Structure 1
Amino acid sequence: MPSSTKLKEKVEQLKQSIDLIALDAVIESYDYATDIVLTSNNHLIEEKLWNRIENYGEGLCNYGRTLSLHLRRVSLDGREFLMNELGFSAKAANNFQVANLFHDLGKTHESYARDIWNLPHRPTEKERTEKRLHTGFGTEIFLDAIKDLPKEAQEHPHLAIVVPALQLFHHERVDGKGYVGRQGHEMGKLIKALCIADCKDGDLVRRGHHVTQRTEKEALLRMKGLDDYDTNSKYHGAFDDMLDTYIAYREAQTGEEILPKTA
């Protein structure tokens, strides 16, 4: 398993060096579907990593099934939002969808007890701290998986920038209180869109301590930080007007009013 000091140092370097504003241009700079460097080198790696995700907890908690469905939903939702609302090309949106399937890869790290993702109770602070490590763990696993690819492949922006960026920064907040601590002025449209799509889908999961399952409307109003929905102020300051753009987009898609016009 990837746990070497060298890998950890590389992950820390990426946390500092990846430009989340430039990421919007990077995702437009290639076409995953036709790029020979990717098609000839990366598909077997992706298949291996996806099998790792789907089979995680097999026969125990079977969490891999839940995780793989979450990754597919967020990746498709993000793809459609980027392409249909935010002006990204179909090529870039497809690049995102493929890369984002691995943003929670770190949840399969060997250091985790298998039941940490299916707790019957609200997570303790210790458990929350442990769970937050999955963003860096995922990048460690990914970098270890591609280490034997040709240099040209390892340095391709899809593998060197896009996949690690989506893994490391999908829990950022514009107020700087996310996992890595990037602030809104450091974040481009792509990463803001992912943070919103991932947060919403995560809030729709009925966890062990939940009495009922939230609706999409309830999840989005909670993310807005409205007192009636975000009762413990978890999301106050987390998102900027990109969330309003997303809510309006979902209203148009579903025909349902989500945000009251006076809110």
Structure 2
Amino acid sequence: MIRTAFLAAALMTTTALPANAVAQTAPAQEQTAQLNLSASGEVRITPDQAQVSAGVVTEARTAAEALRANSQRMSRVFSALEDAGVQARDIQTSQLNVSPVYSQPSSRDGGTREITGYSARNTVTALVRGMDSVGPAIDALFEAGANSLNGVTFSSSEADAAETEARRRAVAELYETRDLYAEVGGFTIERLLNFSESGGYAPQPVMFSRAMMMEDSATPVSGGELVVSITVNGSWEIEG
């Protein structure tokens, strides 16, 4: 009886092994053949407006004096922008702060720094519509008392239309390339698996130096061209 039970147990163990082996060596699921492509569409447009960021920096013995002097000069800056044809809705305060001014550390006093005064900074951002008005607007800012120019960014009021056209060109190029691959490769397109977009419109920043505004005539500006580029990506299931 003992030998019979042992033999039965051994046979059960032996017959279980092939089942485990079959489960481990089952073929993996067949992967779907895919075609992955990218294409870009580009449109070039001429800027017709610019965002100008400038302001006033003043220093005084106390914070109140620095802010008071700054406010007086900024009032003239706002008036100058409006006189230059910039609409009130296109003028916005983008930064206003007052901070202490410290002395240079000295070895005689242990390297400590003392507050010697205060600095007030007020920055305005203005949207100037019309490229012919950009130079005169910058001149008006500095003639009115501005002493800080952070930069000029060119843009276009037609950016949305340019983006739409760039998308049309990108998609047309993508599908034309897809059909070419299918024809030359001898396979068929079954269905769309994935579609995405990247890129778009970005205004063009241009930095100015104070030396550029020392001429008698209006500050010269050139917007050049803005490039609107859209990239589309597509994946399709294919059958060979």
TM-score over 0.5 for the alignment? Answer: no
Greater Cα radius of gyration, structure 1 or 2: 2
Which structure carries more strand by proportion? 2
Which structure carries more helix by proportion? 1
Q: TM-score range by the shorter chain?
A: under 0.3
Give the structure-2-normalised TM-score: 0.27
Give the structure-1-normalised TM-score: 0.25
Higher relative contact order at CA 8 Å, sep ≥6: structure 1 or structure 2? 2
